[in-house]
Chains A and B, each alone.
Chain A
Amino acid sequence: MLKKRVKNILESSRAAGWVLEPDAKKIFALSGIKVPEFRTAETLNKAIKAAGDIGYPVAAKVVSPQVLHKSDANGVIIGIDSDEELKNAYKHFVTLDGFECMLIEEMVDGLELIVGGKIDYQFGPVVILGLGGTSVEIYKDTSLKMAPLKENDVRSMVRSLKAHELLEGYRGSEPINMEDLISMMINFSGLLVDLRENIESIDLNPVMCSAQQCVVADARIILS
């Protein structure tokens, strides 16, 4: 069942056709999907205070209903280490179309994955897992299953990726926290089933997976 707060967010996003990142992250946090610690700031002063609360380094992103693909519009700056750098980022963001506020977020690292969902006409909610980041559409290394998922479904999705060794610990690197990925994907698939009447697709891209945790670093919810 959809929580009331989730419904309210969806309702207020309807005009834009998609859900702004801070709102999307609120929805995920309410659904048991881990997101990095974040604040939003409309002014530079608020931004500096937020970064101080979170602690440098931080990532900064533009929040604008007119900027769907943030990195294409230079709306994402990562590894900000000082008030000065944050100020420069802010100055740039306010020039972007439809600037509403700045999102300041703790930096997370790990292997970049994509977890996505769409409402398929013939099969209903389906979930994909793949190697994420900006090159996701070049490699197209993804596996897909119909929602809702069970633990074994997620394990078999991981196994069927060409790059599965990267997740399992390749040449001395630590394997990712598989239990965290499994619980994220199970919760995500449940959310997708609940949202099936409201959405067209959701990208969690990238999901940063390390030996410690799997966290949604960026997300986009396209409404139907």
Chain B
Amino acid sequence: MEYLVSIYVKKGYSTPYNRVNNPEYFKYPVWSLFGQQDNPGQEERLNFRPLFRPKTIAVVGVSLTNDRHPANVIYNKLHLRYPVKVYPVNPKGGKIQRDTVYPNIAEIPVKIDLAVIAARSKYALDILSDCIKNNVGGGVVISGGFAETGNHELQDKMVAAAREASFPFIGPNCLGIYSPALFDTFFLPGERLVRPQTGKIAIVSQSGGVLVDLMVKFAEQGIGISLALSIGNKAMIRELDLLNYLRKDPRTDVIAFYVEGFEKNEGHDFVQAAARSSKPVIVLKAGKSEEGGRAVSSHTASLAGDYKVFSEVLAQYGIVEARNEFELVSFCESLSCYRKTIEGKIGIITVSGGHGALSVDACVAQGLTVPVLFSDTRDKIKEKLSSSIKNIASLRNPIDLTGSATDDDFVAVAKILSQVMEVDCLLLLLLPYSPGITADLGARLSYVCQREGKPLVAYVPHVEKYRMLIEGFQLNHVPVSASIEGAVLMAEAMRRCQPC
């Protein structure tokens, strides 16, 4: 029985909180003992909609005197820039910006979907209880001063109260939620925030700073997001809950995490949930270096350090591990365009021999191959090339079309490579300085890719004058990187993503 109970707990109800001794958790159906059924997790019993799609928001803790108070920053941006109804709360009442400040949530005349709690931590538990009493849908606790400063007791009390009432809350000690075009709870003034466009990638980050930085990089790279979450102390809502929510969220195609660490056995449940997700899951882990000088009693303990375990178990379950922010951005862009696993046989098309050689090095360093093309493939290509380059182009792979190539040459070669079996992914190195290349080429190559169904990734220097070429790719779902290494990583993403 003990064993069955332990499976039961593992399958469905294991969280960082000890549920083993709580009979409440054994009321749920016996099917969860068997087979591959979904992990019901706590997210099944929580309604996340008011958190992520609120219509009415209360901002609790606004200052009547300090415009720079986090709560005021949040109130102002919600009030002025987003399609939500927002209500400021402060026990003193009064007015800010000529709007009524409500002394508590109960006084607000409408039902509140989301409460943003940005008051001092000593008031947080009372505010949370108030939210629960007044049927608020969910909360984001921005304030710090909880477990991160040693105040575990207060945090545990909040979690217990929220859990009992099935009241989902993000945080504490976080930036909270960024939902493009809908609302955000970041206490960064709107004019300071770099906002990626709406897209299909969800980012969940333990660190608010890393999240904001990733948003800058996503925006630079033209990648859109469906939701960005800073979960801070992740007291109640944790990575596993969000993974389970996001894998069913129709607005999200790729789920990316920045993780510092999991609680006991939490990683075990996380990888199993990720393996059941039909969407690619990408994880960037901080804290890879081992603590030096730790006494280890066995070879295994020394060989299987914390990060080694993390990294290899992720790979075992088909989760794509990004080793740094740069990889994370490239992987997200690639996997939001292609949900495909490749073996990694790359066909390279370039106008510069040097770029071809550099990209081969980058491919090989990742474990991708650049196979020599069959001679009949080369003959087919040669036949289609324009007469000015027919005899000077190099056709072994990389295919160097030289600086005299035109759009038609690129399209012809991309089409042939899309139909041969030697390669399973195309890498285009497009240096638009060559006079024969026009701004239409991005869109034209994307259509080849859409028609033929073989993934294509491109490198184009990201400068304003090439914008139309770049958008020709991106708007047609072909990922484009600003560097050769980035483009190679986009191909590598598909090799690493096993369940894609």
> Which among A18, A142, A145, A201 is the interface contact of B316 at CB below 8 angstroms?
A145
Most chain B CB neighbours (cut-off 10 Å) among A117, A123, A144 = A123
Given contacts A68-B297, A122-B262, A122-B265, contact A128 B303 (CB under 8 A): yes
User: Can you give 18 contacting A-B residue pairs, CB < 8 Å?
Assistant: A1-B3, A118-B309, A120-B267, A120-B309, A121-B306, A122-B309, A123-B268, A123-B271, A123-B313, A126-B309, A128-B300, A136-B299, A146-B268, A200-B301, A201-B297, A201-B300, A203-B300, A222-B298
Q: Chain A residues with Cβ under 8 A from B268's Cβ?
A: 122-124, 146
Q: Chain B residues with Cβ under 8 A from A140's Cβ?
A: 303
> Which among B297, B303, B308, B310 is the interface contact of A122 at CB below 8 angstroms?
B310
Indicate if A210 sits at the interface (CB-CB under 8 A): no
Distance between Cα atoms of A222 and B312 in the complex (Å): 23
Indicate if B290 sits at the interface (CB-CB under 8 A): no
**A116–B265 CB distance below 8 A:** no
Q: Chain A residues with Cβ under 8 A from B309's Cβ?
A: 118, 120, 122-123, 126, 144
Indicate if B266 sits at the interface (CB-CB under 8 A): yes
Contacts A116-B298, A123-B313, A200-B301 supplied; 5 other A-B pairs, CB < 8 Å: A116-B304, A120-B306, A122-B263, A126-B309, A201-B297
Binding site for A on B (CB under 8 A): 3, 261-268, 271, 297-304, 306, 308-310, 312-313, 316-317
Q: Chain A residues with Cβ under 8 A from B301's Cβ?
A: 118, 200-201, 222
Binding site for B on A (CB under 8 A): 1, 18, 68, 114, 116-118, 120-124, 126, 128, 130, 136-137, 140, 142-146, 153, 200-203, 205, 220, 222
Number of interchain pairs (Cβ within 8 Å) = 91
Given contacts A200-B297, A222-B297, contact A144 B308 (CB under 8 A): yes
Distance between Cα atoms of A118 and B303 in the complex (Å): 10
**B271–A146 CB distance below 8 A:** yes
Given contacts A122-B265, A122-B268, A122-B309, contact A136 B316 (CB under 8 A): no
Q: Chain B residues with Cβ under 8 A from A146's Cβ?
A: 268, 271, 313, 316-317
| Minimum C-beta distance from A148 to chain B (A) | 11
| Minimum C-beta distance from B444 to chain A (A) | 41
> Which among B3, B267, B299, B300 is the interface contact of A123 at CB below 8 angstroms?
B267
Q: Tell me the nearest residue of chain B to A132, going by C-beta.
A: B299
> Which among A136, A200, A220 is the interface contact of B303 at CB below 8 angstroms?
A136
> Which among A120, A137, A145 is the interface contact of B299 at CB below 8 angstroms?
A137
| Minimum C-beta distance from B387 to chain A (A) | 48
**A126–B304 CB distance below 8 A:** yes
User: What are the 10 closest A-B residue pairs judged by CB atoms, nearest first?
Assistant: A116-B300, A122-B267, A144-B312, A122-B262, A123-B267, A201-B298, A124-B268, A201-B301, A201-B300, A146-B313
Q: Chain B residues with Cβ under 8 A from A142's Cβ?
A: 303-304
Q: Tell me the nearest residue of chain A to B302, going by C-beta.
A: A137
